Structure 1
Amino acid sequence: MGVMRPDMVMRSIIPVVMAGVLGIYGLITAVIINGKMDAATYSAYSGYAHLGAGLTVGMSSLAAGLAIGIVGDAGVRANAQQPRLFVGMILILIFAEALGLYGLIVGLVVASTAEGKGKGLCSPYNV
């Protein structure tokens, strides 16, 4: 893209940046889960809730990344031929990014409800 159309380089980076944001969603979730871990009070319920939160964010980001990759590839190629398709590409990328954002929201809700619950539901694992 940069060789044939140097004026379109900045527009072509947008799908890459949007895919990188999905990795930041996982980092945010990992930091929040890590901050809530305490060896003295960590129950099995909290562990399963944190596992579910991580899987939720990870799988939704995987699906969003796949969608962003497909749309980004086709959109950048189409944008090189017809620049008026740029707005449509951005709209589709935003809808694909929403999948990852919804997963982040659900993962944060699941991770935040894990604290303080489950003491009677799941017994802790003792060695």
Structure 2
Amino acid sequence: MSTDLCPVYAPFFGALGCTAAIVFANFGASYGTAKAGVGVVASAIQNPDGIIKGVLPCVMAGIISIYGLVVSVLISSNLAQKQSLYTGFIQLGAGLSVGLSGLAAGFAIGIVGDAGVRGTAQQPKLFVGMVLILIFAEVLGLYGLIVALLLNTRATDAVCSL
């Protein structure tokens, strides 16, 4: 039995939010890792000793994936067969928030990481500047995580009494 506020398809939106969180965050993380990884390999020709320092953008891109995983697990633990449409939409919003923020952050980390690692191989003084810009790019994903966590805490406010 369903009502207008608690239809049978409401959990679909929650599952879609769970999927969006992990998929988009992983797309961003994989792009960032691949793009920065190409820069690491290309710069290793000029400066083989700088490979370990050059892996930093790849690690930072991987953290974006963890943000998506955390929100995806939180959303999936709150999914229920009988839930309100409000809850489903909030869960969808939370998943899209962290997922699309992670996608944008991963793109930024990949582009900055590629250019930064190549530049650092030629001029080591660029490393600190590259790290600062990477932090600014990483924080975009963190903003999405914070919003998703805030949204997810509101997801259990409306309860269906069926």
| Runs of 4+ deviating beyond 6 Å | none
Unaligned runs of 5+ in 2: 1-42
C-alpha separation in 2, matches of 1:48 and 1:100:
21
2:134 is aligned with 1:98? no
2:90 is aligned with 1:49? yes
Q: Is the 8 Å Cα contact of residues 45 and 118 (structure 1) preserved in structure 2?
A: no
Which residue identity is paired with 2:107? Answer: L
2:63 is aligned with 1:21? yes
Structure 1 residue 44, shift from structure 2 partner: 1.1
C-alpha separation in 2, matches of 1:2 and 1:82:
13
C-alpha separation in 2, matches of 1:52 and 1:59:
10
1:74 aligned partner: 115
Q: How does 1:77-88 map to 2 (within 5 A)?
A: 77-88=118-129
Q: Aligned residues: percent identity?
A: 55
2:73 aligned partner: 31
2:21 aligned partner: none
Q: How does 1:52-63 map to 2 (within 5 A)?
A: 52-63=93-104
Alignment RMSD: 1.7
2:156 is aligned with 1:111? no
- TM-score when normalising by structure 1: 0.88
Higher helix share: 2
Structure 1 residue 51, shift from structure 2 partner: 0.4
Unaligned runs of 5+ in 1: none
Structure 1 residue 39, shift from structure 2 partner: 1.7
Structure 1 residue 53, shift from structure 2 partner: 0.4
Which residue identity is paired with 2:61? Answer: A
C-alpha separation in 1, matches of 2:144 and 2:121:
32
Structure 1 residue 98, shift from structure 2 partner: 0.5
Q: Deviations over 1:60-95 (max 9, x none)?
A: 111111111111011001000000110000000000
Structure 1 residue 116, shift from structure 2 partner: 2.6
Aligned residues: 120
- TM-score when normalising by structure 2: 0.70
